[in-house]
Amino acid sequence: MNNRQIYPICAAILILACCAPKVEPIQFEVPEVEYTVQQDKLSVSVGEPMTFGAKVLKGEGLSLGWYVDGVLESSAKDFTYTWKTPGDHEVRFEASNGAGSQSKTYTVNVTDVLEIFLSSEKDYEIGTSTDCLEQDFIRVCAVVVKGSNVSHEWSVDGVKQECTAALFDTYMTPTGKGTHKVSYKGSNSVGFFAKEFTVNVVERPLTITFSEEAATIVVPRGGSQTLTATIKYGGSGAGYNWYLDDAPVSDQPTYTFNATTAGEYVIRFSSQNAKGEKVERSWHIVVPSRTEVLLEDYEDGKGKGLFVKQSGGVLTVVDNPKPDAVNGSAKCLKVTGSGSGYFGCMKSTVKSVFGIDWTEYSGMKMDLYIENSKNVKFCPALDKKTGGVAGYVWAETYAYEQWITVDYDLKLETYTGTQIQPRPFVLRGSTSGKGNNTDAVYYDNVYFYK
């Protein structure tokens, strides 16, 4: 490189050096802070807020922090804090940057207080009394506005309750209107707050339940039917008035109807309380001209052993496939796997299980449900089996996919055989079953009658 080339390069370097900015290191000032609260020792109550402030007079790039008992609570210049527990606590402020730091520490003595009021579902703040429904829990809350470590005591009519919580909801009022004295005491290290008030028990509307919900009741001739009315709510001044065909028959909670004569009757109940609220209910009573004895209804989910399996059939207690007006019960007997859908009712079983001599009865009836079949106009039969000899008794009814009541006039008093077999899939004039092994037959509510 010759001199002509060197001189221009040197000149360019000198020009650039003259144009470069001057860089100096950043210099922070030591922070200087003025505090709105000057005292080092302060006092405050539990639940009462206290505000601190720090005004920065000097210092850049500061990191600020307010610490309560060593825990950072805020990084703002102004800080407000509320203590929940009494005792001595430390509040420390610190401002720092690269040049140094400044801090201030306060000792705050927090004293406990006690401010409570009582509240209920009806009254935000309970005065001298509040209301509660009969047979409902008294619900009262001790609202601690200020204070800590409060213990709670409750009593009703002078009897101390087990509840030690602020919410008192463990006492149920008895039936009927009345009043109760509720006492409360809340205390902590400062002292106590006590209050007594009256709870007025308000009756619910007159509500009565009955032992029998069915509107129509069949009572066998010679039998009886007991009805019971139970006043659940609103019973002040309410009585019990039972009528049989509009004639008064009882003023007690329970009335028993004795079915001495066949016919139809109406039992009516009426009650009115002191507030004029009224409850009425009636039942249609049917007393058949014959005496009936219920042997099986399967409502307990099992049978009593009246029937036994025959010819490979399967007997199970199941849910009612289609409850209706004829048979609205929950459980029934299902029979499958037999060509005519039959099973055996044994004379010995009727005697041993039910204590009945069937020769004293003249007939047998039951509810029957048959799933749709190819058969038409079948006439459900009973086969009085004696040594393999069939003796059919027919019922003059038929239907599919619905419950029917079939009635067999057996004249059992003249029958000396060992068993009878319900056979629903037998047609009149036939001696064999017409059903298929896949057909299902359901039975329920089996009676003997005379």
Domains of the chain in sequence order:
32-111 (2.60.40.10), 115-202 (2.60.40.10), 207-287 (2.60.40.10), 292-449 (2.60.120.430)
Nearest-angstrom CA–CA distance, 114 and 186: 9
Over pLDDT 90: what percentage of the chain?
A: 54
Please state which of the ranges 79-83, 98-102, 185-189, 369-373 shows the lowest mean pLDDT.
369-373
pLDDT for 162 beyond 90: yes
What pLDDT, on the 0 to 100 scale, is given for residue 114? 94
Helices and strands (H and E) in the chain: how many: 2, 35
Average pLDDT over residues 341-363: 84
What pLDDT, on the 0 to 100 scale, is given for residue 336? 79
pLDDT for 9 beyond 60: no
What pLDDT, on the 0 to 100 scale, is given for residue 385? 65
More confident site: 356 or 23: 356
When computed from its CA atoms, the radius of gyration of the chain, rounded to whole angstroms, is 46
In 69-99 the beta strands, taken as DSSP E runs, fall at 71-74, 78-82, 87-97
Query: By C-alpha distance, which of 384, 346, 364 is closest to 294?
Result: 364
What pLDDT, on the 0 to 100 scale, is given for residue 450? 81
pLDDT tens digits, residue range 229-241? 999 998 889 999 9
More confident site: 414 or 433: 414
pLDDT for 26 beyond 70: no
Contact residues for 267 (Cβ-Cβ < 8 A; gap 6+)? 227, 242, 243, 244, 255, 257, 282, 283, 285
What pLDDT, on the 0 to 100 scale, is given for residue 129? 95
Nearest-angstrom CA–CA distance, 315 and 344: 11
Nearest-angstrom CA–CA distance, 448 and 294: 7
Q: 3-state DSSP call for residue 133? A: strand
In order of 227, 229, 269, 331, 337, the CA distances from 209 in angstroms are: 11, 6, 11, 25, 45
What pLDDT, on the 0 to 100 scale, is given for residue 194? 96
- Kindly list the strands in the beta sheet with 140-146, ordered across the sheet, starting from the edge strand earlier in the chain: 115-120, 140-146, 167-168
The whole-model pTM stands at 0.47
| Residue 252 pLDDT class (50, 70, 90 cuts) | very high
Bin 290: left if φ > 0, else alpha if -120 < ψ < 50, else beta. Answer: beta
pLDDT for 431 beyond 60: no
Query: By C-alpha distance, which of 52, 48, 51, 114 is closest to 84?
Result: 48
If 0-12 CB within 10 Å is exposed, 13-18 middle and 19+ buried, where does residue 270 land?
Answer: middle
Nearest-angstrom CA–CA distance, 118 and 127: 8
What pLDDT, on the 0 to 100 scale, is given for residue 418? 80
Average pLDDT over residues 1-29: 55
| Residue 34 pLDDT class (50, 70, 90 cuts) | very high
What pLDDT, on the 0 to 100 scale, is given for residue 158? 95
Average pLDDT over residues 90-101: 93
Using DSSP bridges, classify how beta strands 167-168 and 140-146 pair: parallel, antiparallel or unpaired: antiparallel
Over pLDDT 70: what percentage of the chain?
A: 83
Quote the mean pLDDT of the chain. 86
More confident site: 369 or 6: 369
pLDDT for 138 beyond 90: yes
pLDDT tens digits, residue range 266-319? 999 999 999 999 999 999 999 988 788 899 999 999 888 888 876 667 889 999
Please state which of the ranges 170-184, 353-367, 427-441 shows the lowest mean pLDDT.
427-441
Average pLDDT over residues 91-105: 93
Virtual CA dihedral for 320, 322, 326, 332, nearest 10 degrees?
Answer: -20
What pLDDT, on the 0 to 100 scale, is given for residue 390? 57
